[in-house]
Amino acid sequence: MLEERFIQFDIQVRTQREAVEALVALAAAEQRIADQQLVVQAVLLREEEGTTGFGQGIAIPHGKSASVLEPTLLVGRLGKPVDWQAMDDAPVDTLFLILVPETSHQEHLQLLAKLARKLMHEEFVATLRQLHNATEMFTFLQNELA
């Protein structure tokens, strides 16, 4: 689900919607989705059910759509934090966007649970904050989420 090409740093956005759109555009450029607008809509509709702002500047937005061709995990570090109505009310600067096809049932839930468990550990979050490029992030996440 995660490949180094799905990790982007210094994304310049001003809003939560723009952040989702930027990562969905990356998925589209990598031929992982068929229709960007449908996927953005699915992610934002899910966000309306309850915030995915986990806390500590991190959000785990996710969406399920027939327009998603392959399960994909995208990671984005924003140039400036944006409001996400996170559980701790802190703005978000790091996103883990999980996109899965409509027919997927368990895969994204398992990844979501694994990520959420890792994010409860201060050491994991501290290390995550020190990573400054896609290669470092990819290597770290491969080791931690394997």
Phi, psi of 131 (to 5 degrees): -85, 135
Among residues 62, 105, 121, 132, the one annotated as catalytic is 62
Residues of the chain where predicted confidence (pLDDT) is lower than 70: none
This model's pTM is above 0.85: yes
62 is catalytic: yes
**pLDDT given at position 117:** 92
β-pairing verdict for 62-65 and 92-101: parallel
Instruction: Output the pLDDT for position 104.
Output: 79
